[in-house]
Amino acid sequence: MKKHTLLLIITISAFLFTQCDKNNDLVLFGIETDQEFGLQADSAIKADPATYPILSRSENQEAYAYLDGIVDEILNSGKVTYKDEFAWEVHIINDDETLNAFATPGGYIYVYSGLIKYLDQEDDLAGVLGHEIAHADQRHSIKQIQKQYGLSIITSIILGENPSQLGEIIGGLTGQLAVLQFSRSHEKEADDYSVIYLAETDYACNGAYSFFQKMIDQKQTGNTPVFLSTHPDPESRVEDINKKASELNCNTTAKDPESYDHFKSLL
C-alpha cells in the first residue's frame, strides 16, 4: 500500500473516531452544517409564498405568541440537546387543507394551519411540535444525507476535495423538506423524544398519540400526513407512544385549556 494512501486511511479513521456529536451519534458533519442548511432552507421557503404562504408575525402577533409559548416550554424541558445552538423558529403556513408540519436542520419549524385546526387541544399540538423538534435535535436530515451519499463523497467534502458538493446537496433537498420521509428508526426516535421532552413539562407526555388516535377513530388512516406517515402505521404509533409514556411513568392528563380554541380562531 502506498504511503500517502495509508496516511489518508489513518487520517480518516482518526476523524471518524472523534466525530460523535452531543447525542453520542457518529455524524461526520459539524452542527454548522445543520445551521447552514436551516438558513438556506428558511430563505428558500420564504422566497416561495405560492407554495409556502407563511403568516406574517407582525400581523399575527397573538397567534405566534401562543405558538412560541408551546415551543419554549418544550425547549426548557432540559432534554433538547441543541437548545442553545439551533434557531428554533416556528412559522405558520396558511393552508387549511393540509395536515402537515416539518422541521429543517438547525431548528426551523413549519406548521400548517390545517393541522393546527385539526387537533383538539394544546397538548396534541405540543406532541407534534415535540416530534418535529426531535427530528432537528437528533439531526435526522443530516444523518440521512450521510447515509444517502456514502462515506467516499462525504469524506471528499470534509477533506476539501469537493467543497461545492455540500451546497449542491443542501440545495437539492431544500425543495423536498415538506415531503421528506424519514426512516422507521428516525420516526420512532422522534416519537420517543416527543414523550421525553413533554415528560418534563406540564403537558401530557403522550400528546403526540392523540393525532393518530383521532385519525384512527375517524377511519382516515389512509390519509395520514406525510410528516407522520412513513412507518409504522398509526395504530402501532399510538401503542409505542403510550408504551414510552408508561416506561417514563409521566403525566398523561391533558391540560385542555380553552385558550386553544381561541388560538385556532385567530388563524
Q: Is the pLDDT of residue 3 over 50?
A: no
Unique residue bearing C-alpha cell 440537546:
81
- Bridge partners (DSSP) listed for residue 92: 111
Q: Is the pLDDT of residue 45 over 60?
A: yes
Tens digit of each residue's pLDDT (9 = 90 or more) over 197-208: 999 999 999 999
Tens digit of each residue's pLDDT (9 = 90 or more) over 208-250: 999 888 888 876 555 556 555 555 677 888 999 999 999 999 9
**Cell digits of residue 77:** 424541558
Q: For the chain, what are the domain ranges?
A: 30-265
Q: Is the pLDDT of residue 63 over 80?
A: yes
Mean pLDDT of 34-46: 87
Please, what's the b/e burial string for 104-122 (b: 16 or more CB within 10 A of its CB; e: otherwise)? bbbbbbbbbbbbbebbbbb
- Cα–Cα dist 267/256, whole Å: 19
- Cα–Cα dist 111/103, whole Å: 9
Mean pLDDT of 146-154: 59
Omega before 163 cis (within 30°)?
no
Q: Is the pLDDT of residue 5 over 70?
A: no
Q: What is the pLDDT of residue 163?
A: 52
Q: Enumerate residues 6+ apart whose C-beta is below 8 A from 179.
A: 226
DSSP state of 54: B
Q: pTM (2 decimals)?
A: 0.83
Unique residue bearing C-alpha cell 377511519:
219
Mean pLDDT of 148-157: 54
As separate numbers, helices (DSSP H) first and strands (DSSP E) second, the chain gives 11, 3
Strands 101-104 and 108-112: antiparallel
- Cα–Cα dist 91/213, whole Å: 25
